[in-house]
Chain A
Amino acid sequence: MADLRVKIGQLDLKNPVMTASGTFGYGEEFSDFFDISRLGGYIVKGTTLAPRQGNAYPRMAETPAGMLNAVGLQNKGVHYFADEIYPRLKDIDSHLIVNVSGSAIEDYVACTEKIAELEKVTAIELNISCPNVKQGGMAFGTCASSAGDIVRAVRKVYPKTLIVKLSPNVTDITEIARAAEAEGADSVSLINTLLGMAIDADKRRPVLSTVTGGLSGPCVKPVALRMVWQTARAVKIPVIGLGGIMNWKDAVEFLLAGATAIQIGTANFIDPEVTIKTIDGINEYLNKNGYSSVSKIIGALEI
């Protein structure tokens, strides 16, 4: 067994495999399939200060090798999470990470303050990259100065590990990553979904109620891989890579590109046990190639 441990900020992860926000519910839904405590960490649904109904149906369009979603951060709000959901999750032996979303800086800060009270939430992932909300969301993440402002404000109230989730819908993702690093982020995760759209030719209408939505799945992997590679070279803080990971091989590619850990999103819908298979697959890859630990392959891409 290779040493799979990695470190992100103050977090010691037992392995580099985590689940991506919005694709893993609150984790409980997967307990019929496997033991969640095997995960390096699990990132739960996008959580906002106030409850949100999300966007109207239809919210999903399948695409070749992927899907578009327009969920729009439907959730019952941070207080509901703290009172009703957190008590059920707090004893799971893995890192519970909350994806904090919002539409105004004050909301992000207030939501973070509430999360900071929850002892067993060991990190937050600041979502400044949701393409499916009208205000805020991705707008914060597509401009270095506003990304910097929001990270600074949240950093002031959050002493634990702060991960900032970046949008790929930008000209230069390294610029945003550097702004987050400069304001004290412990790590950046990328990519969130790519803005896209689908049209029903027969009806001459958009498929999604919001017209545009976020693209995910294997079709975004090459873009994600390139952005992770660029970002890992641009910042000193650890990068968490995601976007289209379907198996251990994809995961190893992200590690080689410079990601310290990875997240799996859309693939959970098709194979709920994909995360566990990925952990086992990474271990086998390391053993087969004579690496004693996963850290040996992080950024080990030979060019």
Chain B
Amino acid sequence: MDLSVTENSSLNENCFLLKLTSDQKLPDMLPGQFAEIKVEGSPPTFLRRPISINNYCTETNELWLLVQKAGDGTRTMGNLKKSDTLNLIFPLGNSFSFPENNSKSVLLVGGGIGTAPMLFWGKYLKEKGYSPNFLLGARSASDLLQLDDLNQYGTVYTTTEDGSYGEKGLVTQHSILQDKNFGFIYACGPKPMMVAVARYAKTRSVPCEVSLENTMACGFGVCLCCVENTVNGHICVCTEGPVFNINELLWQI
């Protein structure tokens, strides 16, 4: 589907927020799902690029993507201007699940650009009567993104590696992990961070889901390139994920 850019704003040196819309009503989407994007004007970028749905607003028929410039594909996307078109295959993948127990207090952990899916999920949880707590980790204050948006839907806790904002250290060292109890934990970010969060959740017996970013060729289940080894064997991250319960994974936690 071709969408048109309504806004491309730079959030810091490396990250930008793309807002997209269409004349047609956008398909229904769920938090945790992603889009496969065709990048025009980037010769080294042969395949589409998977990007999480950062926010979906039914009232304005708008879809947001929060993107970090990792290489030529994402850098080229960063040059998009208002009213440019972008071709997306979406929505793809599964979504986060609601807590099974009655606990309303849940923790959404995002490391770096891994916060991307958490805005949409936090908003959704709030609408359904849960109280999201966002725990974000970044290198430095300028890498903490969308704090104002997140604040609308829950309490935001932060850590930075250089101590320039929030608590100094890594997300898994934040004091709320010792001080508060949560009914469910969701995490997205670099793998070592997700492993550390999974370990924390497991030792406390808190259910936990993580969103994986395995490299993909198609994004819709036909190439079998994106598999994760799980208790059920090799399964596709693009169709049966990207969100997995940590109990399904064979991580050393």
Contact = CB atoms under 8 A, between A and B. Distances in A.
B222 A56 contact: no
Contact of A67 (B43, B217, B221, B229): B217
Interface magnitude class on chain A: 20 to 34
B46 A63 contact: yes
B48 A74 contact: no
B227 A74 contact: yes
Contact of B224 (A54, A56, A67): A54
Interface string B25-57: 000000000000010000110111000000000
A218 B228 CA distance: 28
Given A217-B46, A269-B218, A57 B223 contact: no
Given A24-B222, A71-B223, A57 B47 contact: no
B222 A268 contact: yes
A62 interface: yes
Contacts of A67: 46-47, 217
A23 interface: yes
B46 A64 contact: yes
Interface string A271-289: 1100000000000000000
Nearest to A73: B224
* Chain B contact residues, majority secondary structure: loop
B134 to A, nearest CB: 30
A57 B228 contact: yes
Contact of A270 (B38, B214, B215, B228): B38
Contacts of A266: 217
Nearest to A218: B46
Contacts of B198: none
B220 interface: yes
B224 A29 contact: no
A74 B215 contact: no
Contact of A54 (B215, B220, B227): B227
Interface in B201-226: 214-226
Contacts of A74: 224, 227, 234
Interface string A228-268: 00000000000000000000000000000000000000101
Given A23-B218, A67-B46, A71-B224, 8 more contacts: A23-B222, A25-B222, A57-B226, A57-B229, A66-B46, A71-B223, A269-B218, A270-B46
Interface of A: 22-25, 29-30, 53-54, 56-60, 62-67, 69, 71, 74, 217-218, 266, 268-272
